[in-house]
Amino acid sequence: MQLRKQVGFERDDLAALIGLTPSELGYLERGESHTRTEVLERIAVALDVDAADLLTFPWGNEDDDDGGEVPVRQYARELLRLVPDSKRAALVKLMRDFVERHTPVLNLLSRKRAR
């Protein structure tokens, strides 16, 4: 929702553009629903962002200024910064394994975006 507002879209307008109802888009924005990669790609194209920028993780306490959700790239950087040096290599390996397992989906999204 925050990214949609930053770009200047009202929920109704973005929903119509990507082929969802405003209610369906609202469920996605609040994390109350899952979606297919095709819908994620349509949202990314409409907002002119990478699909990875739509993926967020919970971070901190929502009541804090820095709480709520953050983009996946920022989340990874913060995790690496917070993890002690002795555990950083293991975390990097875990992140790489995750990316390798999900590369087919990420590649699909990148190819569709390039069209």
Range of 104's domain? 2-114
Tens of pLDDT along 25-69?
A: 998 888 788 778 788 888 888 988 877 777 665 555 445 455 555
Q: Where would I find the H helices in the chain?
A: 2-7, 11-18, 22-29, 37-47, 72-82, 85-114
pLDDT at 17 exceeding the cut of 90:
yes
Per-residue model confidence (pLDDT) at position 115: 53
* CATH code of 108's domain: 1.10.260.40
Task: Tally the domains of the chain.
Answer: 1
Q: Tell me the three state secondary structure of residue 113.
A: helix
Q: Given a cut of 60, is residue 85 above it in pLDDT?
A: yes
Give dist(CA 95, CA 76) in Å, integer: 8
Structure confidence at residue 1 (pLDDT): 66
- CA separation (Å) from 24 to 19, 29, 59, 69, 72? 10, 9, 24, 20, 23
